[in-house]
Structures are given as C-alpha cells and as structure tokens.
Structure 1
Amino acid sequence: MLPFAPFLIPLVAIALSLVLFGGFVGLAGADVQAVYQSIYRGAFGTWFSWQNTLTSAAPLMLTALCTALPARLGLIVIGGEGAVVVGGLAAALTGLVLVDANPWVALAGMALAAMLTGGLLIGLVGWLRHGRNVNETISSLLFNYISIAILSFLVIGPLRDPETLNKPSTHHIGDTHMLGALGDTSIHWGFGYGLIVCLLLWVLYKRTVFGFAVDMVGGNVRAALLSGLPVGRIVFLVCMMGGAAAGLAGMVEVAAVHGRANTSLNAGYGYEGILIAFAARHHPLAIIPMAILFGGIRASSGLMQRDHDLPDATSLVLQGIIFILILASEAVFARLAKRQGSAA
C-alpha cells in the first residue's frame, strides 16, 4: 500500500462527495457550477471570506480532537458537543465570578474551568468503558443530551439574565474579559488556540514515551497489560485530554463570540468535529486543514441560501454525504490493509 494512502483515500471520498452533492443541488433546480462558485467565494474567495472560514474552523479543530484522541485507543467517542456545552457554561460562570479580576487572570481561569469540566465529562466516558465495560459511543452520546438539558435548565431558570428576553442567557462576562482578535483581522484568538493545541498534541503523541504508550494500548490492550502499562489511567487521561480540548472550544465561543452562556453553545460543532476527525484519520496535524475546509463550508452556507434560494441546511447535506463516504472509505482502507497483510 502506498505510504500516503491513509490520507489519499479520505481525499478521494471528499471529491466523490462533491460530485454527489452536485447531483443533489441539480435535482433541486440549482445551477451546479454556480453553487460551487458560491461555496468557493463564500469560503476562500476573498480575505473577508477567509476570516469567516478561519473563525468557523477554530472550534472545529478543538472538537475534532475530542474524537481523534480516544480513537488512537480504539474508542469511538462522540461526546464533543456535550463537552463544548459544559465547558462554555463553566467558562461563563467563572467569568462572572472573576468579573473584577485582571483580564488575563479571568481568561486563564475561564480556560482552565472549561478544560477541567469538559475533560472530566469525557474522562468519565473513558472510565465507564474501561472500568465498567460501558460502550463509549452510547455513553458519550447520552452525555451530550444530558449536558444540553442542564445548560437549557440553568440559562432559562436560575442563571438567567432578566434582560435577555428573546434568547435566555447568563449575565455578560464583561467586554474586558472577551478574547481579542489576531492582529488587524476579525479572526479571534480561538483559532490560535486550535493551532497550538493541535501542534502540542502532535508532539506529545510522536515524540514522547506517553505517546508510544497510547499507541501500544490502541494496538493491543493485552500486550500493554502484560508490559505493565497502567491501561485504565491512560484511557482516562487520553479521554480527558480530548474532552479538555472540546471544553476549550466552549470557552472560545463564550469569550470570543457570545460573551455569555446560552443555547447557542449547542451549535453542532461537536458533531462536525466527529466528521473532521475521521476525515483527518485522527491525526492532530491533518485536523487543521480539514477543519479549515469544513469551516469554509459552514461559512458559505448563507451565500448558497441568498444566491441560489437553497435552504440554509444545504451545507449540512454536503457534510452528511462526506461523512457517509468517509466511513465507507474506512472500510476500503481496512480491506486494502488486510489484503496487503495476507499477501505479505
């Protein structure tokens, strides 16, 4: 098998998805070429489009890690949405507690609270899997619903700011505690956080003993146990790191976008992160360009609606087609790898 096959196969799946999506919009009565031009223009056509794309990519990079990191252990965790929600809620509450503190102290406290809360949520998923043999996919999905329900209850009830009539929310964390932009752009520092975290995790996995231990556990749990590795602790820590990354995405949404916690935290970033993780084959560095690609698709959805009278959810159709074909490509890759092993 070619050395670049693990990344070539998802790219072929994405290209085929674009062909199928063209057929879908053609059946809807739209000009296929014009739709693709609008997607490109809305995502990458101008510097303004690039800024929107990179802003949308910021939380996607972090939520993708919530699935990608446990996947190296052979776990399919889809709880990124719940980690974003509880992380954003914890960040907002911390910001309100530290409303009179130095902005740097407040932002650091918000980030730590979000990462700890999201990390504990997904860490619990890992503990349930290793300690109680509870399926991690089902438990993480259920934690999503529980987290969203808790957020809705708190922002509509005990934590609601009476001045938020149309959209119940917590009180604002204060303008001085908001994340600033990168230079003279409209791209907030959340994008920088995503890049830094992806790079650090790549170094951790490729250049440290801990990364080798994770790969060993993911390759063969029995061999890892016989080697004396603390498998349970590794599972919990890796799941906690993934949840911490998604929790940080929630903090970014609060401190850079909304300024408060509300139901807008449930924006689907966690679910899109699953798709990005699989498209990147769970590689921390490959997540960066994939997140930018899907951030561009998200950023161009309004342009498709305005120029071609297509529903705003059209971009979700494209993402769904990509997700199905990415999963199919995983089966193709596994079959090729098995055939190569048999030949050897």
Structure 2
Amino acid sequence: MTSLTLALGVRPGMRDRWLGRIAEAWALPLLALTVALLAFSAFLAACGVNPLAAAALIWRGAFGTWFSWQNTLQKASPLLLTGLAMALPARVGLMVIGGEGALVIGGLACAVIGPTLSGLAGSAGGALLAQALMLAGGMAAGALWLMIPGALRFWRGVNETISSLLLNTIAIAVMNQLVEGVLRDPLSLNKPSTVSLAPGLMLGQIPGLSVHVGLAFGLVLCVAAGVLMQRTSFGFAASVNAGNPRAAHMVGIDVGRLILIACALAGASAGLAGAVEVAAVQGSATASLAAGYGYSGILVAFLARHNPFAIIPVALLLGGIVASDGLLQRHLDLPDATVAVLQGFVFIAVLAAETFSGRLRLRCRLWLPLSLRGEPRDG
C-alpha cells in the first residue's frame, strides 16, 4: 500500500475507483470545452472571421482588465444561483429545468412586495428589514414554484423535465399578463413595468467592487449547498436516492420529503436570483426578467457536473463569455447571437461528453503511475 493510500485512508480496492472519479470529474468538462471551442472556431472561420482574433477579444472582454473582471462578476452573479437551481434536484436524481420560471416568479414577488414597504425606506434599519422581506418573498415564491414539478413527479409520476419546462412558459405568461395588466405602473409608457422600488430599498454594491451584493449571495449559497450535499446526512440520502430510488425507499429514506426539500432549495435559489435582478438591477419587474439566466444555469450545472463548488468557476467562465459580447460586436461586427452560438456548442458538447461517464474510471489503471496504483515496480 502506498504512502498516498495510507495518508488518505483509502483501501487498495477503492483506490483506482477514487482516482478514476477525480480524473473523470476534470476530464469530461475539459473535453467538452475543447470540442466546443474547436466547433465554434470552425463556425467563425466559415463566417469569414479570424478565430484567433475572436478568442483574443473574448479574453479581453472577460478577464483582460479590471473593468472586464467586474463586468464578468456581474454577469456571473445570477448564473451562480440558477446553476444551483438545476444542480440541487439533480443530486436527488431529478432533471428539473424550471430555473427560468422560478426566477421570473421570484422577481415578480419582490416587485409586488417592495412598493408596499416604501414607508420603511426612510431609516437604515427599516430599509434593511424591507430588503430582507423582499428577498425572502422572492425565495419563498421560487421555492413553491419548483416544488410543483417535484410533487407531480413523486405523487403522480409526471416527468419533472417536461412539467418544469412547461412551468417556465406559464411563469413568463403570468408575469407578462400582470405587468401589462393589474400591476402596470401608469407612468411606464413605452415599456410596461410594475411600480419602481423606492431608491432606499435598492440593494447596494459590494464594497470596493462595481458589482451588486447578489454575487456574495451566490458564492455563499454555492458553498453552503456544497457542504450540505457532501458533508451531511441529507446529502448522503440524496446520493442514495439518485443512485437507486427503490433502495432508498427500502432503507427507510423519506423519498417524497427529500424530493420536495431539494426542489424547494432549488426554487429558492432561482427566486433569489430574480429578486436580486429586481432589487439591484432593474428596480421593477418588466419583460426583461425573462433574460434566459435560468436556461444558462442549466449549462452551468451540467458543465460543473452538478457539483455546487464547481458551479463557481464555471459561472465565472460563462459570465466572462457573456461579458465579452459587446467587444465582439464592435470590433468584428458580429451579431449579438454569436455568444449564444458558443453557448449552444458548449451545451451540445457537454451532453455528448456525458456518454463517456463511467468509462474513464474503467480505463484509469492503464495510465495512472505505478506509484499511485500501488503496483510493484519492475526489478
């Protein structure tokens, strides 16, 4: 047994599987990104654009300057939360893609609650209480919204992917109906919106950064979700249910409760993203709430392989790509859909790479160094 095995407390029979899982967790996302970038480069070349020039502009717009970094962090903030909205149910074995709908409902709830609390904006303590209530209302609305596909799945056997996708459409339709109807601010002439929040109720920025506090919320929730799923009995029960729901039921795990809690946490995360968009960016609910952050969160979660900790760097990467959109338009005269094309290539590559899941572990012993495999050296 090698010193590495002794230090980690891993039995020889488990060592190869453990190392294989680590290798797969890194190799599959990197493989998907590489294939997507090659396909995107070919697409740009076919359009008469130099792929190297585009890559340089993407890097410059995402991470090249301090301004670019702040713009990237701003774009990544909602992706942290909507990525969790996809990743948390996936850890229980559910493919819930309703983050967009929960975000819209959460933002709408914040926009409804905020104007009723305008009287609290005069004092620091009152404004802080009102902000907390607005965010809590958005989280509660999002949680209830995503509990619907979880409940339908457990009690009626309805496919959660289809039901959550349909709920996205319903949420956007409800939001548009209310914003253009009973909740419309009479002063909003060109673009219908709800009544604007009082300036004292708007969320501020992180000290030293031109980024709203939604970034801090996302980072804290990603870390908390990672600890929940990897260091608690709830996380262990979730992994058991994801592997074999029948076995989870046989050992006494309350599967229904597990599913509802996971969906509620996911919905609360997406609802918080919507509330932050209203309380920190837009100031009211408009059709712009349905900006596609929920669908981008699906890509974030898949690329992170539903690991809450890995969502952080992946959200930064995709946020940087989105932040570079303006440079691509100005310098290369590319349409604003170019970044969406790149995201589409990445999503297809990620789904294709998942077909190799489990196979890299089987071949791990063929290339690992002998010192890590615990096998004797020749001579």
TM range (shorter): over 0.9
| Change beyond 3 A, Cα 1:198–1:339 | same
Match of 1:243 in 2: 267
Aligned runs of 1:198-277 on 2, under 5 Å? 198-277=222-301
- In 2, the alpha carbon distance for the partners of 1:318 and 1:123 equals 32
- 1:303 is aligned, of 327, 349, 364, to 327
Residue identity matched to 2:306: H
| Aligned sequence identity (%) | 52
Residue identity matched to 2:103: V
- 1:70 is aligned, of 79, 89, 105, to 89
| Change beyond 3 A, Cα 1:161–1:5 | same
Corresponding residue SS for 2:357: helix
Residue identity matched to 2:32: A
User: Retained in 2: the 8 A contact 1:128–1:134?
Assistant: yes
Q: Deviations over 1:280-308 (max 9, x none)?
A: 00000000000000001111111101110
Match of 2:171 in 1: 147
Match of 2:338 in 1: 314
Match of 1:100 in 2: 119
- In 2, the alpha carbon distance for the partners of 1:11 and 1:190 equals 28
Structure 2: state its 5+ residue gaps. Answer: 1-19, 121-125, 365-379
- Which of the two has higher C-alpha Rg? 2
Moved over 3 A (4+): 334-340
How far did residue 216 of structure 1 move? 1.4
Residue identity matched to 1:225: H
Q: Deviations over 1:200-256 (max 9, x none)?
A: 111111221111111111121111111111110110110110011000000110011
Q: Deviations over 1:11-63 (max 9, x none)?
A: 12102211111111111111211111110111111000100100000000100
- In 2, the alpha carbon distance for the partners of 1:107 and 1:125 equals 29
Q: Which 10-residue stretch deviates more, 296-305 or 273-282?
A: 296-305
- In 1, the alpha carbon distance for the partners of 2:187 and 2:361 equals 59
User: Retained in 2: the 8 A contact 1:92–1:261?
Assistant: yes
How far did residue 339 of structure 1 move? 7.3
User: 1:35 and 2:46 equivalent?
Assistant: no
TM-score (norm 2): 0.88
Residue identity matched to 2:159: N
Residue identity matched to 1:32: P
How far did residue 338 of structure 1 move? 6.9
- 2:209 is aligned, of 178, 185, 188, to 185
TM-score (norm 1): 0.96
How far did residue 275 of structure 1 move? 0.4
User: Retained in 2: the 8 A contact 1:6–1:333?
Assistant: no
Structure 1: state its 5+ residue gaps. Answer: none
User: Retained in 2: the 8 A contact 1:7–1:281?
Assistant: no
User: 1:11 and 2:30 equivalent?
Assistant: yes
- In 1, the alpha carbon distance for the partners of 2:99 and 2:358 equals 26
Corresponding residue SS for 1:164: coil
Residue identity matched to 2:170: I
- In 2, the alpha carbon distance for the partners of 1:138 and 1:332 equals 25
- In 2, the alpha carbon distance for the partners of 1:5 and 1:148 equals 38
Corresponding residue SS for 1:4: helix
Number of corresponding residues: 341
- In 1, the alpha carbon distance for the partners of 2:26 and 2:153 equals 29
How far did residue 3 of structure 1 move? 2.3
- 2:311 is aligned, of 271, 287, 307, to 287
- 1:21 is aligned, of 40, 55, 60, to 40
User: Retained in 2: the 8 A contact 1:7–1:280?
Assistant: no
Corresponding residue SS for 1:72: helix
- 2:135 is aligned, of 111, 116, 131, to 111
User: Retained in 2: the 8 A contact 1:128–1:136?
Assistant: yes
User: 1:83 and 2:102 equivalent?
Assistant: yes
- In 1, the alpha carbon distance for the partners of 2:84 and 2:174 equals 23
Match of 1:127 in 2: 151
Residue identity matched to 2:63: F
